[in-house]
């Protein structure tokens, strides 16, 4: 049904034209549709480096979208500046009667969108935000009491029970393409013009845009049957590699979930669970926005005073903790901007429970450098590893970094890939090179403390210190539940 003569689609973290909710709804309800993307200085100016892989990925994805629209006789209007001001100005300049976008659930984005909606209303322009980046949002999956879930498994069960074919149906675009506003190609600022520099994205084999997502998805489908087992071993090609594409919307979550359900089997079912975990963290962020401000989901653990020993955080960041799997993980992270999911858990647990560093410092470090950084998933993952979040690893269960290494990189293949200085260390000692006898050190040319660091901490003693921190916080909570008589109040 046609409601508007002219509409504007404002692209954000939804950088595709296929199965895109806002694009489809605008086309279906308008006679002419313009499309715009804003390199928002409100976001870009806060980034710590001008060599940011995410910005280059977005720039490449936007360029691909522009080329695709121009093949249809339209164009993509690429703006640079504060989105809160530019979107209403551009909508008015195009004589748009409505602005369509895909809904974002991060608190800062919600504040921005509310301000844009208010400005547009003052101009007599409608604002329509559509669900797109998740299957279920906000209050769509609640428990029987009408409250949000705080534990994953019952959330997953309710999610699957609620799922119907209509939720996975792609948004139609092709039938309405003739409603795109015809326009000559508009100029697009180069990466340098928006204040950023080229990175090693191409050398790393990261292809932006929907074409890059399609290539990875097709490759993953050929090996999805092995996903359940392979996903835990960083030396194997287990994960899909689609996390950055999900983050910036160059692939549709509906297409991925439909594929997993259609394929079936242990691998696809496990992968679907990972996609549902993503939505679980999104609804936690929506219902508990304090987690975006560094507050613990389990409020009693806000009281923990983390020792933050001098030098520990730096040793972790710089991959010199003396624990090979942790250091190899952080090398991978520093070199690629990506970190295998199993290693995210291991590295995060080690920072918090071995090095006794406040988990918020690690969360912020990942936020600054992960190419696939997503606020909800990053916050949820860090709080899970630190045992302060929803459905978290129990605080009294602490990863042993050597045992994790022996279990998930048994032959040391991943370690040797990122720590070539340990290449000649025998398998027997690769997970704990400080335990090598002097003769073996001489044979392989690795002397702990020289060619490779000695452990910065001893796991056993640090474990006891971490347990004491959590016990105090848990005891304080238990005490607060008691009445002055010492009985439950």
Catalytic machinery residues? 274, 277, 306, 341, 359, 382
Q: Report the C-alpha gap between 338 and 371 in whole angstroms.
A: 6
Q: Which two tokens stand for residue 246?
A: 């999900």
Token pair 């090979």 in the structure block, residue = 324
Q: Which residues of 11-50 are buried (b: 16+ CB within 10 A; e: fewer)?
A: bbbbbbbbbbbbbbbbbbbbebbbbbbbbbbebbeeeeee
Closest Cα to residue 61, out of 306, 248, 289? 248
Rounded to the nearest angstrom, the gap between the alpha carbon of residue 420 and the centroid of all alpha carbons in its chain is 29
Q: How far apart are CA 398 and CA 293, in angstroms?
A: 25
Q: Which residues pair with 130 in a beta bridge?
A: 102
Helix (H), strand (E) at residue 168? helix 165-168
* Residue 460 buriedness (CB in 10 A; 0-12 / 13-18 / 19+): exposed
Helix, coil or strand: residue 229: helix
Query: What is the three-class DSSP state of 260?
Result: helix
Residues 210-246: b if buried by 16+ CB within 10 A, e if exposed? bebbbebbeebeeebeebbebbbbbbbebbbbbbbbb
Closest CA to 232 of 419, 407, 412, 415: 407
At which residue do the structure tokens 């309710």 appear?
158
Cβ-based neighbours of 15, under 8 Å, separated by 6 or more: 37, 58, 61, 62, 65, 209, 210, 248, 249, 250
Q: Which of 2, 23, 12, 6 is nearest to 170 (CA)?
A: 23
Query: Which residues contact residue 458 at a Cβ distance below 8 angstroms, ignoring those fewer than 6 apart?
Result: none
d(CA 403, CA 422): 18
Per-position DSSP letters for 428-471, written without gaps between them? GGTT-GGG--HHHHHHHT--BTTTBPPPSS-HHHHHHHHHHHHH
């Amino acid at each position: 049904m046609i409601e508007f003569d002219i509409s504007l689609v404002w692209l954000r973290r939804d950088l595709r034209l296929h199965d895109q909710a806002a694009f489809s709804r605008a086309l279906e309800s308008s006679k002419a549709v313009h499309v715009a993307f804003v390199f928002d200085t409100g976001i870009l100016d806060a980034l710590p480096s001008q060599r940011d892989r995410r910005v280059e990925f977005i720039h490449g994805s936007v360029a691909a979208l522009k080329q695709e629209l121009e093949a249809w006789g339209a164009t993509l209007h690429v703006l640079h500046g504060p989105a809160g001001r530019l979107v209403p100005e551009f909508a008015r300049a195009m004589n748009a009667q409505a602005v369509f976008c895909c809904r974002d659930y991060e608190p800062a984005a919600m504040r921005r969108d509310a301000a844009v909606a208010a400005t547009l209303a003052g101009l007599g322009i409608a604002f329509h935000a559509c669900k797109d980046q998740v299957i279920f949002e906000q209050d769509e999956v609640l428990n029987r009491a009408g409250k949000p879930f705080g534990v994953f498994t019952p959330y997953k069960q309710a999610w699957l029970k609620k799922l119907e074919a209509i939720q996975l149906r792609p948004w139609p675009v092709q039938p309405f393409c003739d409603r795109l506003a015809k326009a000559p190609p508009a100029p697009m600022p180069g990466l340098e013009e928006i204040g950023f520099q080229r990175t090693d994205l191409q050398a790393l084999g990261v292809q932006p845009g929907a074409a890059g997502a399609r290539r990875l998805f097709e490759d993953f489908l050929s090996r999805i049957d092995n996903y359940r087992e392979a996903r835990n071993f960083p030396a194997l090609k287990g994960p899909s590699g689609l996390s950055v594409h999900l983050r910036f919307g160059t692939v549709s979550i509906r297409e991925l979930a439909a594929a997993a359900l259609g394929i079936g089997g242990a691998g696809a079912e496990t992968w679907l669970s990972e996609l549902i975990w993503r939505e679980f963290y999104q609804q936690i962020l929506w219902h508990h926005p304090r987690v975006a401000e560094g507050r613990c989901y389990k409020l009693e653990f806000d009281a923990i005073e983390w020792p933050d020993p001098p030098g520990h955080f730096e040793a972790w960041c710089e991959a010199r903790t003396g624990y090979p799997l942790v250091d190899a993980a952080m090398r991978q992270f520093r070199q690629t901007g990506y970190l295998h999911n199993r290693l995210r858990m291991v590295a995060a647990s080690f920072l918090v429970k071995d090095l006794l560093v406040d988990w918020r410092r690690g969360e912020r470090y990942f936020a600054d450098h992960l190419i696939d950084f997503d606020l909800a998933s990053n916050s949820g993952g860090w709080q899970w590893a630190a045992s302060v979040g929803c459905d978290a690893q129990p605080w009294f269960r602490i990863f042993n970094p050597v045992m994790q290494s022996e279990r998930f990189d048994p032959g040391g293949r991943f370690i040797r890939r990122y720590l070539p200085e340990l290449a000649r260390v025998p398998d027997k000692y690769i997970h704990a090179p400080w335990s090598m006898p002097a003769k073996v050190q001489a044979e392989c040319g690795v002397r702990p403390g020289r060619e490779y660091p000695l452990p910065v901490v001893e796991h056993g003693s640090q474990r006891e210190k971490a347990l004491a921190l959590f016990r105090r916080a848990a005891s304080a909570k238990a005490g607060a539940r008691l009445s002055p008589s010492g009985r439950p109040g």
